[in-house]
Amino acid sequence: MAAPVGQLAVDEYGNPFIILEEQAKKKRLSGLDAHKANILAAKAIADSVRSSMGPRGMDKMVVGPDGDVTVTNDGATILEKMDVQHQIAKLLVELSASQDHEIGDGTTGVVVMAGALLEKSLDLIEKGIHPLRIATGFEKACEVAVKRVEEIAKVIDILSEEQAALKKAASTALGSKVVSSRKDQLAKISVDAVLAVCDLDRKDVNFDLIKVEGKVGGKLEDTCLIQGIVVDKDFSHPQMPKKVQDAKMAILTCPFEPPKPKTKHKLDIRTGEDYKKLYEHEQKYFREQIRLIKESGANLVICQWGFDDEANHLLFQNSLPAVRWVGGVELELIAIATGGRIVPRFEELTADKLGKAGLVREVTFGTMKEQMLIIEECGKSKAVTVLVRGGNQMVVDEAKRCLHDANCCVRNLIRDPRVVPGGGASEMAASLAVLAAADKEQTIDQYSMKGFASALDVIPMALAENSGLQGIAEMAKLKAIQETSGNAWHGVDCMQTGTTDMWAQSIYEACASKSSQLRLATQVVKMILKIDDVLTTSDVIDE
């Protein structure tokens, strides 16, 4: 029997071996090749968002499968909408999402950091260092870096009269976004919204009480903060009053109509007398429902269901302004904010179940006469709404994402009022600290620690390159300034204002955000380094 045809190949150590036909068909990689493939796949994801970093970073246009277009430079949004096929690359997508869920800001930086660590680990693997030893060295370096970042942090006064420190931090978060031209106005809105709903005793912020609504049309500077709730509905009858002062609202989940049998039914109307009886019977139900509402003292009706023209006309005749087809989530928010109870039956409606608000008004936008209902001065809750305006839907959507990042930044500072410098200054200070620690390290981990320090330099280099500066030259100059002056707040002057002191430029971010970026990036890189083979459930390995 003839020997199977094969070909000669050489492994990474130069040892020759023969690949038989059956083996050549197997596409799975293992060992060094698998590590390389995994790292390159993840690195490609990081490279795709690197150009979006910083205030001068570029935006990405993401085209969906249905042709819908999203323009953004938010790392989490870009990666979420990308069609990532490689299993290892998906880990970086999840990394960005976890940073977004936990911190809300720094989603681009954490992915770029992870990509830089993977690139350095590839160099170390090719030198013959085992991936697990690299992971151990990275972990040691991460602790040194986080410790140094926390050392250079400054504590801000979040309760100052004008909340200047919070506004500067929110402005830093918005500086790299599409809406950067209005960052001061949006930063003020963001700070006012978070402080309106926060619990300073518990140092907590309930984001459910901050509703962000968008309306296409108008300018970005028309964006405003409303101390209350905005509902995308209008009064059910065009002749109903557009304003209700001292509103006492009945919040109903029962429809304005006579009850219907649950089973199949048939009704024969053979004479005019029968029709009149049916009409009177229906009118009796309507009149009873109106009577119960009036007796409760309500002067505004908010209903989850729709009602026909007859019921609408009766409500108008009885001077009861009404809103119909209000969604369940909005209904609950209105009930919480106004202190009302959601009533399932008219018979259960009483004065103590009514929601109270100082003013309910209908606002009309543009020539298309689009209406929204604004409920203000809700005494029972601190709920607020940010009404975002923009020239098109893409601008409105991006402004919503930007405000989310700014809100998260302010929330983090309420929880932990320490700030660290932006402009890559934190990373450069951490890099110098890790290099100093690596020189004292006696084990092979010193190589991994030096690689970690080198990876930290990628962040300020990317910021400098995206701002049109010479990356390596700028970073070398700033490191020299940090070492000679002992001030770790010198970073990349992205806006070229003439000073590199980030405190003087008011460019800083939450310490919790930076620490989380370093720790999460290190954890994911450790996970990727420990993977040497990617198997699928369809793989069959013959004995």
Q: Indicate which residues carry an active-site annotation.
A: 74, 107-108, 405
Q: Residue 41 and residue 94: Cα distance in Å, rounded?
A: 14
Determine whether 27 is exposed, middle or buried from the number of CB atoms within 10 Å of its CB (0-12, 13-18, 19+): exposed
Token digits of residue 78: 């870009």
Q: Please state, as a whole number, how many other Cβ atoms lie within 10 Å of the Cβ of residue 386.
A: 23
Q: Residue 259 and residue 293: Cα distance in Å, rounded?
A: 17
Q: Residue 398 and residue 315: Cα distance in Å, rounded?
A: 41
Dihedral angle of Cα 150, 153, 159, 163, to the nearest 10 degrees: -130
Q: Residue 4 and residue 79: Cα distance in Å, rounded?
A: 46
Q: Residue 30 and residue 43: Cα distance in Å, rounded?
A: 19
- Cite the beta strand spans of 447-539 per DSSP E: 508-510
CB 230 within 8 A of CB 211: yes
Token digits of residue 250: 């009945």
Residues contacting 52, CB < 8 A, separation 6+ = 58, 59, 60, 73, 75, 78, 108, 176
Give the residue among 43, 6, 45, 1 at the shortest CA–CA distance from 23: 6
Q: Residue 412 and residue 408: Cα distance in Å, rounded?
A: 6
Q: What is the largest CA-CA distance in the chain?
A: 104
Q: Residue 235 and residue 242: Cα distance in Å, rounded?
A: 8
Token digits of residue 218: 């108008």
CB 424 within 8 A of CB 112: no
Q: Residue 111 and residue 47: Cα distance in Å, rounded?
A: 9
Q: Residue 9 and residue 16: Cα distance in Å, rounded?
A: 6
Half-sphere exposure of 463 (CA within 13 A, CB side): 27
Sheet containing 418-421: which strands, arranged edge to edge? 154-155, 418-421, 508-510
Residue 336 CA, chain-centre distance (Å), reads 24
Q: Residue 361 and residue 372: Cα distance in Å, rounded?
A: 8
Token digits of residue 352: 């103590």
